Amino acid sequence: MSDIKKVVLAYSGGLDTSVILKWLQDTYQCEVVTFTADIGQGEELEPARAKAEKFGIRQIYIDDLREEFVRDFVFPMFRANAVYEGEYLLGTSIARPLIAKRQIEIARETGADAVSHGATGKGNDQVRFELGYYALEPGIKVIAPWREWDLTSREKLLAYAETHGIPVEMKHKAGGSPYSMDANLLHISYEGKVLEDPAREPEEDMWRWTVSPEAAPDQAEYLDLEFERGDVVALNGRRLTPAQVLAELNRLGGKHGIGRLDLVENRYVGMKSRGCYETPGGTILLKAHRAIESITLDREVAHLKDDLMPRYASLIYTGYWWSPERKALQTLIDDTQVCVNGWVRVKLYKGNVMVVGRDSKTDSLFDANISTFEDDKGAYQQADAAGFIRLNALRMRIAARLHRK
């Protein structure tokens, strides 16, 4: 183990990574560099610095990556309308490639020969982090403590923290360990505790970002989203940066009880897992993006995107953001978004997002003169449909005659 001289730890300051920091020092006898990414988790990050300093860490990185996260990772993913297994908006998955990227950059800056993360050996994150590491720095050494140590439960981690004087948030809540949570500007997730029984309803006081739909305002709220090349650039006429857009959508969605999800998903490592998610801004964004695409995308292009979306979403979920196939798909997706310009109006009410209007002054393919139920003045020749239908029925007519014999 002495061949490891310096390791960059992805460090949140929470239970797992606080224990890992001390464990790395004791087990590997190496220098530890901590890296804390501010990707909009909404928590004060200076306590992480204080904890790291307490254990003698000299190189501490706390980087504000919020704009990069939304601009270069969240928005490209939403251009694809990516949803995993029909429901999950990939809030945890999409953050991992950015963290891995910056971690490798710091390893190069500091001369570290290894990186470390706090993902367990049962989950998806170990795959996501490490695929990112190896794609960006093929010779990097990876330390995954959960695959090495004997601290195999949250309770053992808490005991270790107590022994070594490591302060842990929510340590004594409900007489046991806290939920396993992950938060960023796109979502917050919850696992563990009562959620390990998929038959039990989540506790109401678990949710942090959203009110329950029952407690949401009785008055609906309207919101206009302006799109340029598939990305939201303004809300209600006010231009915002990508991170500002998502933060404001989170605020509005949370206020109206939008974006809660209780899901049993199929992990990449093979097991089923139950988790709960809050993705208020992403829920609004997905609905609005599909609405603007409905009037600006050619039918076959839109259907091709829908065909490819599950593959694209699976690549993100399983950690292949930096793979050549994801990059190739992204090139195609981004090319389809050149014409996705215009505005969408949504109505927010008690957990629901309803599209109530959409238009594009420059790229709308909707032609009321053709689709109208009134007199179209010859814009569409209805008689042409007869031959169109007969030709498309030809193969079925031939088969029907054959089978009748």
By annotation, the residues acting in catalysis are: 16, 96, 125, 180
* Biggest CA pair distance of the chain: 86
Q: Are 298 and 336 in contact (CB under 8 A)?
A: no
Nearest-5° angle of CA 356, CA 359, CA 361?
Answer: 165
Tell me which H or E stretch contains 238: strand 238-239
Nearest-5° angle of CA 203, CA 45, CA 141?
Answer: 95
287/282 Cα distance (integer angstroms): 9
Amino acid at 72: D
Neighbours of 7 (CB within 10 A): 25
Q: What is the dihedral of CA 58, 125, 78, 239, to 10 degrees?
A: -20
Q: What is the dihedral of CA 210, 216, 217, 222, to 10 degrees?
A: 60
Measuring CA to CA, which residue among 62, 50, 57, 51 is closest to residue 30?
Answer: 57
Q: Is the dihedral of CA 107, 113, 117, 122 positive or negative?
A: positive
